[in-house]
Structure 1
C-alpha cells in the first residue's frame, strides 16, 4: 500500500537520470550545508547520537535538502520511508497510509512519514496525525516553506521539534558545483565572474543550481564564457517573493527597521528587493510616508512633505522613472533625525482617552450659544489667551478632576530641539500662572 506513495509509476519510459537525482546524498554526512541542524552538537546530531528521534517539522525555502534529510533519517534509524504531498493527498489516502503503518509496526518495522507542504493540510486534517504520532505508529517529518507558527496547529507543534533549514550560501553552492563537475567528469566552461554569477542565479537553492549546471554543461562552446555570455544564454530565475505572504512582511519589516536605524544603503537594498519581487510601488510609497510620520515625526517635519511629493511624482510619471523619486524620499527619511515622541504621545493619549470614557471638557471651555447654557455657567471664566500676558493664560483644558497628563515629550534632536524649548517655555509659564 505504501508503495503507492513512494514509488514512481512503472509505465514511464526510462531515461537519463537528472543531475540533481544522481547527486542526491547517500548519507547525512554527504549533505551540503545545514550544519546548524546536522552538526554533532546540533538538534538532529544530538537526537541521532542519543537514539531519541522525535517528530520534526523542517521549515525552510525550496532546494535546501528537506526531502533528502528526511529520507536519510529513515535510513539511519531503520525506519520505512513513506513520502506524501499535502497538495495531492486526501483523507482516504491518509487512512491507507496509517493502516499500512499499523501493519508494518505489528511486523516490527516503524514508519517515517514525510509530508511535503504539510501546511497545505487544514487544521482538522492535521489533527488526524495526532493519535498515530502519540502511539508511535508513525514518526512524522513535515516540510514547509511557511512559518509553522501560523500554518500548523498547536497540537502538532507541541509534539514536534521545529528545525529551520536555511538557503545555501555561496560557499555551499560552490561545493555543490564542484561535486557536479566531478560527476560530469569535466569543468564548467565559465570564467571566474561567470561562475559566481551562476551561483548567484541559484538564489540559495541547491536543486536549482544543479539544473542550471546541467544546462550549461550541455552547451558546446570553445573556451570560457563570460558573465554576459552566460546571462544571454540563461534566463535569470524569478525572485522568490510572495507579495501577500510572510516574505512580504519580512521584507517590509527589514526596510522599516533599516530606515529607523538610519541606514540608507540597507533601506535601498530592501526597497530594490521588494520592487524586484513585483511589489506595488504605491504600497512602498505609502509605507515610506508612514515611516516619515512614525520614525522621524517632528524632528524633521519636512520629511513627510518630501514623501508626499515623491509619491505625487510617482503618480505623475509612473514606472520605472517614478521609483527613483520614491528612492530619494527613502534616503531622505533614513538620514533624517529620528523622533517617535509624537507617536508615543498619541498612543498614550489614546489609552488615557479610553480610560476616562465620556468625561466632558471643563465647563469654562464649553461654548454657551444659548441663554440656558450661559445660566448654567458654561463658558464662565474662560480666559482668551490672546488677551493674556505672553498670549498664554495657563488655564486647565483637561476634564475637571482629571490629573494633567504629559503625553508629548520632544527629543533633543533635529527640529524637536526647538519644540522642546517651546514645551519647556510654556510649562514654566503654566507653573508661574498656577502660583498666581
Structure 2
C-alpha cells in the first residue's frame, strides 16, 4: 500500500513566508552588532579572545534585546563551531543528555560545539552542575545568556569556568542606527515627525528587538502625512519599563534612590522614587527605606527628619495610592535637602565593636545599685556622685568599666543641629577635665 504522502502532488519549492523585521536585520558579522563595541572591539574581551583564537565559555549578561543570541550565533560562525541553541525554560535533563551525546559524537568527528543556553539562570543547581564535566573535557563551549545578575543566580562552580560578559542597554543613538537600517530594509522612511520618532525610540527602552517590532507596526500604518508624538502615543502602547521587584533592578533602583538622597540631589531622588513606583514597587517598602535613610544618613543633623518620614508613612496608610504617594515624595525631597550626618551611626557601630571586645567587664562599683546590705558592704554604690547635686548639674564621674581607657565614640560633625550637640560635648569635656583635676 502506497504511503499516504506519496499521493500528495509536489508543486515544487514553496514560497518563503513573511519574516519579522528583527530576523531580516539580524547581523551577519560581529562588526554589524549595534551597541556592544566595548566587548566586541579588538581591545574588548570578546574581540581579544577572537584575536588570540582562544574563545572560552561565556555568560552573556544583559537586558532583553541587546544581541545576546546574535552574538552567540556569530561567535560560532567565527570559530567554526556547530551552533546548538536551547532554552532553560523548555529543556529538561533528558533533553540535555541528548545534547551532550550529540556534542560528543560531533567532537569524535572533529567538530566542536558551541552550546547556547538562553535564560540559563532558570536551570537549578543540579542542572547547572551537569554542564561542568562537558565544559572541562571540551565537549562543549558553553555560552549562557541571562538577564539576571549571575552572582546571585548561577553556581560558583559554573561561574569559575566561564567569563561573564556584560552587555549594555542600547542608547538612543544605537536605536536610531537600528531605525535607519530598518528604513533601508523597508525601502522607505517611517511616517513620523522628529519628535514622534524620538518618542518611539524612547518607548523601546533600550531594547533593539522591541524597537524593530514598533517600527513594523508604524511602517504598516496607512497614513498620508508624518505623524505627531500625540498620534504615536494613541496608536502605540508604551512598553513597560524593566523592573523586577525581587531581583536585580529592585536593588539597583533602591540603591540609586538612597545614594541620591545621601548626595543631596532632590531631583535625582524623585526620579528614582518615581521609577520604582512606575515599576510597581510597594510604597510601604519605600516608606520603610526612607525612614532608614533618615536614621542612617540624616541622623541628629536634623532630628525632625525621622518624624517627617514616619508622618509621611502614616499619611500614606490613611490616604492610600495614589494620593498618599505624594506624602512619601515630600519625605524624599525633605531628606535630600536635609543636612547629612552618620555620626550616631558610626558611633553605634564603634560601640557595638567595643562591647564585643570588652563584654565581660563590670560597670564601676560606684554606679551599681546596692539593694542589699551585702552589696553595700562590698562597695556597690559607694562614692556615687548625684549629678543633680553637683555644680552645673554635672559630676564628671567615670561611667566606663574600671581599667578601660575612655574612648571617643560619638564625634558629631559641625552640620545642622549637631553643631549644637558638638558644643555640648565640648562643654562637658571641659567640665569633666575640671572635675577630675579638682
Match of 2:344 in 1: 342
* 2:286 aligned counterpart, secondary structure: helix
Superposition RMSD on alpha carbons, in Å?
Answer: 1.3
1:19 deviation in Å?
0.9
- For 1:2-41, list aligned pairs within 5 A: 15-41=17-43
Q: Which residue of 1 aligns with 2:430?
A: 428
Deviation at 1:258, TM superposition (A): 0.8
Q: What residue is the counterpart of 1:123 in the other structure? A: 125
* Corresponding pairs, count: 424
TM-score where L is the length of structure 2: 0.94
Between 188-197 and 371-380, report the one with greater CA deviation: 371-380
Report the Cα offset of residue 372 of structure 1.
3.4
Distance 1:229 1:128 in 2: 52
Q: CA deviation at 1:418?
A: 1.0
Q: CA deviation at 1:174?
A: 0.5
Q: Which residue of 2 aligns with 1:409?
A: 411
Q: After the TM superposition, which residues 345-384 of structure 1 pair with which residues of structure 2 at under 5 Å, given as runs?
A: 345-384=347-386
Cα separation, 2, equivalents of 1:372 and 1:223? 100
Alignment of 1:272 onto 2:274: yes
Of the three residues 232, 235, 252, the one matched with 2:234 is 232
Counterpart of 1:109 (choices 108, 111, 120) is: 111
Question: Deviations 1:16-40 (Å, cap 9, x if unpaired)?
Answer: 1111111111111111110011112
| Distance of 1:152 and 1:313 partners within structure 2 | 42
Q: Indicate yes or no: 2:155 matched with 1:153.
A: yes
Gaps of 5+ in 2: 1-14
Work out the CA distance in 2 between the residues paired with 1:244 and 1:131.
32
1:425: how far off?
Answer: 0.7
CA distance in 2, matches of 1:114, 1:181: 31
Secondary structure at 1:310 match in 2: helix
Deviations 1:187-207 (A, max 9, x none): 111111111110001000000
* Aligned pairs for 1:39-58 within 5 A: 39-58=41-60
The CA deviation string for residues 264-283 of structure 1, in whole angstroms up to 9 with x for no partner, is: 11111110110110011111
**1:14 Cα deviation from its structure 2 partner:** 6.5
Q: C-alpha separation between the residues in 2 aligned to 1:281 and 1:222?
A: 45
Deviations 1:44-72 (A, max 9, x none): 11111111111111000011000000001
CA distance in 2, matches of 1:308, 1:162: 42
2:327 corresponds, among 322, 325, 335, to: 325
Deviation at 1:400, TM superposition (A): 2.2
- In 2, Cα distance between the equivalents of 1:252 and 1:15? 46
The partner residue of 1:178 within 168, 177, 180 is: 180
Cα deviation per residue 1:234-271 (whole Å; 9 max; x = unaligned)? 11111110111121111111111111111111111110
Which has the higher mean CA deviation after the structures are superposed, 217-226 or 163-172? 217-226
User: Is 1:395 paired with 2:397?
Assistant: yes
Residue in structure 1 matched with residue 61 of structure 2 by the alignment: 59
2:214 match:
212
Consecutive unaligned residues in structure 1, runs of 5 or more: 1-12
Q: CA deviation at 1:376?
A: 3.2
SS of 1:236's partner is coil
Shift in Å at residue 361 of structure 1? Answer: 2.0
Stretch of structure 1 that moved more, 406-415 or 150-159: 150-159
Q: d(CA) in 2 for partners of 1:101 and 1:295?
A: 56
CA displacement 1:365-412 (0-9 Å, x = unmatched):
122233333333322211110110110000111122222221100001
Partner of 2:289: 287
Deviation at 1:153, TM superposition (A): 1.6
Matches of 1:376 and 1:177 in 2, distance apart? Answer: 88
Q: Using the alignment, how far apart are the partners of 2:314 and 2:131 within structure 1?
A: 53
